[in-house]
Structure 1
Amino acid sequence: MSRRIDLAGFDARFAADRDPWGTFVHRDEGVKRHAIVRALGPGPYARLLELGCGNGSNSIALAGHALRLDACDGTPSAARLTGRALADKPRAQAHRCVLPGRFPRPRYEAVVIAELLYYLPPVAMQHLARDVARALAPGGCLVLAHHHIDFHDTAQRSHAIHRRFLAATGRSWHPGRRRRNQRWTVESGRLGE
């Protein structure tokens, strides 16, 4: 792997192009978004946390499955784009949250993390895993969605990223829905009591 992208790199991408990876327009991104929403199962959830919201392409769909959505990203440009995308969703809000770090609320019934984990160095991912496990209510739903491809700018390999994250939480998980294709995997689990 070459040099990993940092928050400044992501911020520059979103400042230059509101959809740098085509998440609003590429068909496969729509299929993945549908898989993420389906993995959540029946809702709505009282409080849903989305980490790594990017430009808000998933946030719009997630807002309909929560009484309160907190969509978070570490870059100012992405948080602004998501805020605009959610402008007509009064129960959804975009936040700038550098991870690992403090979430907008102490407790959530569901957490969605898409296209984020392999951009974090292993120690940062371990901290985030423990933070998510603390914030998620017992029996709460966690949805993870990541590519299988090892991109040139990530901090760690994509292989088994979900398994490594779940192990780092130090908690037990009950497997839920799983959808996989040649490019990505979306899977959910419920936090053990």
Structure 2
Amino acid sequence: MKSAARHAIDLAGFEAKFRAGPDPWHTLTARDEAIKRQRILRALGDGPIARILELGSGNGSNSQALARRALKLHTCDGSASATQLTRQALADAPNAHAWHIALPAPLPGHRYEAVVIAELLYYLAPRAMQRLAKDVANALAPGARLVLAHHQIEFPDNTQRTAGIHDRFINALGRSVTKVRQFRSQRWIVDGYRA
């Protein structure tokens, strides 16, 4: 049996989705997304974190919770509409700033105590993901946390297969990290690593 044809979504596709509505994947309202968000926070460990970088912030559904854990939060997204939605979500968070950055590209800061990447990696081509991995490796402060959260189910619009996406990213980092937390559901996986 043939699998469905793959039609990878690009930045223009993401822009169209966020222009059509502020919550195209129901990340603000779905119970499963709320559970995943709590697992992301648990994967960060306890206590406040000096600087957190969130890559692929989308509509800011995770950003608000991350801002409450960070002394300083930097977010970025490749869609201008998504970036604006993140800015609106963070309007009451003076410690947070959202950038419109299409990844891979230079990151907005130099060192972070935590980096969170959710629902992004399988939309990048393998070489782009490898470049991003190198940038993230350089941005992780000693002892920093890295949290990866992605679906396990396959989609027809992602560039890479979901299976093994975390392992491929970790292998591309070029530096040693240790997995310290893992949470799974039937749909997604959240892995927490320490640099």
CA distance in 2, matches of 1:98, 1:65: 25
- How far 1:45 moved relative to its partner? 1.3
CA distance in 1, matches of 2:74, 2:66: 10
Q: Kindly indicate whether residue 121 of structure 2 is the aligned counterpart of residue 121 of structure 1.
A: no
Matched residue type, 1:89: A
CA distance in 1, matches of 2:47, 2:20: 35
Matched residue type, 1:136: L
Which is worse superposed, 48-57 or 95-104?
Answer: 95-104
CA distance in 1, matches of 2:168, 2:62: 24
- How far 1:104 moved relative to its partner? 1.0
Matched residue type, 2:7: R
Matched residue type, 1:134: N
Among 167, 171, 191, which residue is 2:171 paired with?
A: 167
Contact 1:63 1:89 in 2 (8 A): yes
Among 183, 191, 194, which residue is 1:190 paired with?
A: 194
Matched residue type, 1:30: A
Among 123, 135, 139, which residue is 2:139 paired with?
A: 135
Identity among equivalent pairs (%): 60
Matched residue type, 2:99: H
* Structure 2 residue aligned with 1:72: 76
Normalising by structure 1, we get a TM-score of 0.97
CA distance in 1, matches of 2:115, 2:46: 14
CA distance in 2, matches of 1:168, 1:103: 17
- How far 1:118 moved relative to its partner? 0.2
**Structure 2 regions of 5+ residues with no counterpart?**
none
CA distance in 1, matches of 2:49, 2:101: 21
Q: How many aligned positions are there?
A: 191
CA distance in 1, matches of 2:192, 2:23: 26
C-alpha root-mean-square deviation of aligned residues, in Å? Answer: 0.7
Q: What's the secondary structure of 1:67's corresponding residue?
A: strand
Q: What's the secondary structure of 1:57's corresponding residue?
A: coil
CA distance in 1, matches of 2:165, 2:47: 26
CA distance in 1, matches of 2:154, 2:128: 19
CA distance in 2, matches of 1:152, 1:70: 30
- How far 1:43 moved relative to its partner? 2.8
Q: Kindly indicate whether residue 108 of structure 2 is the aligned counterpart of residue 104 of structure 1.
A: yes
* Structure 2 residue aligned with 1:3: 7
- How far 1:86 moved relative to its partner? 0.3
* Structure 2 residue aligned with 1:148: 152
**Structure 1 regions of 5+ residues with no counterpart?**
none
Deviations 1:72-120 (A, max 9, x none): 1011000000000000011011111111101111111100000000000
* Structure 1 residue aligned with 2:16: 12
CA distance in 1, matches of 2:154, 2:104: 22
Matched residue type, 1:118: Y
Contact 1:43 1:66 in 2 (8 A): no
Contact 1:45 1:110 in 2 (8 A): yes
Matched residue type, 2:13: G
Among 62, 68, 89, which residue is 1:85 paired with?
A: 89
